[in-house]
Structure 1
Amino acid sequence: MSECLLYTKVRGDYPVDVLRALQVPSLPEGVKKVPGFCTSRRSSSPDHAYRITKKAQISAPTKQLFSGRFPENFSIMALVKAQAGLQAFLLSIYSEQGIQQLGIELGRSPVFLYEDQNGKPAPEDYPLFRGVNLADGKWHRIAFSVSKKNVTLLLDCKKKMTRPLPRGNNADVDTNGITVFGARLLDEEVFQGDIQQLLIASNPQAAYDFCEHYSPDCDSPLPKTQAQDPNTYVSNSTTQQVHTQTYEIYIFSS
């Protein structure tokens, strides 16, 4: 008897779960499971996170996260506790030619690095968020909303800062390269700390809804789609199915 599984998308795209796509829940070298943001959570089990150490080397082809075109307007959302004093990249996406096209830097006055297919904006014009420290040894809910020629940082569900993003029209991010977690190539400093969520959504509104829909306070249950237990980890072969909210699974036997 043989079985064939057919996955059918039913409704709505769900954000790409970057940690799953990069196999972080399978606990590669330099990663271990630790308590997360909420040590007790209403109507559900306590949160858990992943502690990333210097030994961790985590990367994958970007196609493993995005089978199609990278969205022009999007959100990047993270629930993270970086080691105090850190100044390092949480995420880097490189083109096929090895150019860093997207990067989220944690630390003091963090930078949102973005470079489209035509090299815009120039490095001196990368959005900079002065007066913010994303690496103070505390948990932070961090969400970036990229819409047209602006990027907005929403920090801890209350602070909002918008900066210009002088990119070109029809800006594109190459998905034929690699995505690196916790580092930028050739940088000595790497991310160290705990991370519970890292999501990329194909719309800029998701960042504004992060605290309500994806990372609620401890008096609310976590959305079921955010269960990140390694025991329910989805392997590479089904990574693309992680991105949708609901599936119908048909089993054919012969």
Structure 2
Amino acid sequence: MAVDSCNSTNQLRVSRQFGSFKLLTNTACCDFRCLYFFERNRVMLVCAALLFPVVALAAAARGALVRRLDAAEGSGTALPEKIDLLEFFSWQAANSDTVSLSTGPDECMNLHIGHYATLALPTYQAFGTSFADEFSVLMQLRSSQQEDRSLLTVLSPQGHILLQVRLSPRALNFITTQQRLYEFPVVFLSDGEWHHVSLAVSVLSLALYVDCMLVESVDWTYLDLDIITDSLLMVGGIIEDFETPFEGDLRQLTFVMGDPNAAKDHCRLHLPVCRRSVKTP
């Protein structure tokens, strides 16, 4: 199998398909000539220099999944489940020149994503074997870019967008399966200041809250989002050559599965517990 060289923008992108395989290149790996091989529900990173952190990330993900399954079996009921994606992606900052971790004056962990950075892992490592049709996405972010860019993407093995959150100077766009796109008018998310952003996704409605205030709620009837965890979860990066990658900081990136009402209570009940130190593998 021929190896593609790193391109000028050094983004994680589908660069070649071999049957059920997809070959992707990644900025953090360009200096090491690393490659992601994406096959069904796993991403295999071939790079000796990054082997240990990736193994540590996989072990942490498996441990979190086992704890969630044990809790579900013990309770006997399907309770809302918080999934802290920063816990998963923070391990990848240790060996990247474009992603870094820091702790602010409030002792919160900040994940800085540089212009040419892409964070990625198999979706199942964070969400298990299924993705709920109702959930909340809770974010604290800071970005000053004036271009349309992708913050969060779930990509199918065929390269189709299953879920995406995009930012622009005038709007936040939420994209789902079947190319459904909902544009919420927000004109200040690119001002370089910290903002609380939360999305409430239910079978009957979709709502956006910014800085603890409802921006807009739209009605929809979407009983099955059909988001599979046999997919790739990306923060930042691009899918097409013409896109602009996200650059900025994240202090929270949490899914609350099974609870679309968590978005409304983001600032009251679901802020991250700060007083935690920056972790390294």
TM-score of the pair, normalised by structure 1 = 0.72
Alignment of 1:100-115 (within 5 A): 100-107=161-168, 108-115=170-177
Within the candidate set 193, 213, 223, 1:138 is matched to: 193
Within the candidate set 182, 207, 216, 2:263 is matched to: 207
Which deviates more, 137-146 or 81-90? Answer: 81-90
Say whether 1:81 aligns with 2:142: yes
Q: Quickly say closer, same or farther: Cα 1:96–1:84, change in 2 above 3 A.
A: closer
Q: Where in structure 2 are there 5+ consecutive unaligned residues?
A: 1-62
Counting matched residue pairs gives 206
The residue aligned with 1:156 is 211
Q: Quickly say closer, same or farther: Cα 1:165–1:182, change in 2 above 3 A.
A: farther
CA distance in structure 2 between the partners assigned to 1:28 and 1:90 by the alignment: 21
Contact kept? 2:140, 2:194, Cα under 8 Å = yes
User: Aligned-residue CA RMSD in angstroms?
Assistant: 2.6
Say whether 1:99 aligns with 2:160: yes
The residue aligned with 2:246 is 191
Contact kept? 1:89, 1:184, Cα under 8 Å = yes
Q: Quote how far apart the aligned CAs of 1:229 are.
A: 2.4
The CA deviation string for residues 57-98 of structure 1, in whole angstroms up to 9 with x for no partner, is 211111111112101011111100012424211100012221
* Amino acid in structure 1 at the alignment position of 2:199: F
Within the candidate set 85, 96, 107, 1:18 is matched to: 85
The residue aligned with 1:58 is 119
Say whether 1:180 aligns with 2:199: no
Q: Quickly say closer, same or farther: Cα 1:49–1:131, change in 2 above 3 A.
A: closer
CA distance in structure 1 between the partners assigned to 2:215 and 2:184 by the alignment: 11
Q: Quote how far apart the aligned CAs of 1:135 are.
A: 1.6
Within the candidate set 173, 182, 187, 1:127 is matched to: 182
Moved over 6 A (4+): none
CA distance in structure 1 between the partners assigned to 2:277 and 2:212 by the alignment: 22
* SS class of match (1:15): strand
* SS class of match (1:27): helix
CA distance in structure 2 between the partners assigned to 1:228 and 1:86 by the alignment: 33
The CA deviation string for residues 7-41 of structure 1, in whole angstroms up to 9 with x for no partner, is 553675541111222345643411112354xx34x
* SS class of match (1:91): strand
CA distance in structure 2 between the partners assigned to 1:154 and 1:194 by the alignment: 19
Contact kept? 1:94, 1:102, Cα under 8 Å = yes
The CA deviation string for residues 109-168 of structure 1, in whole angstroms up to 9 with x for no partner, is 2211111xxx2xx44xx111124332221111000000113210010012431123453x
CA distance in structure 1 between the partners assigned to 2:144 and 2:235 by the alignment: 15
Q: Quickly say closer, same or farther: Cα 1:81–1:170, change in 2 above 3 A.
A: same
Contact kept? 1:97, 1:177, Cα under 8 Å = no
The residue aligned with 1:34 is 102
Q: Where in structure 1 are there 5+ consecutive unaligned residues?
A: 41-45, 216-221, 234-254
TM-score of the pair, normalised by structure 2 = 0.65
Contact kept? 1:63, 1:175, Cα under 8 Å = yes
The residue aligned with 2:273 is 223
Identity %: 23
CA distance in structure 2 between the partners assigned to 1:189 and 1:33 by the alignment: 22
CA distance in structure 2 between the partners assigned to 1:59 and 1:190 by the alignment: 14
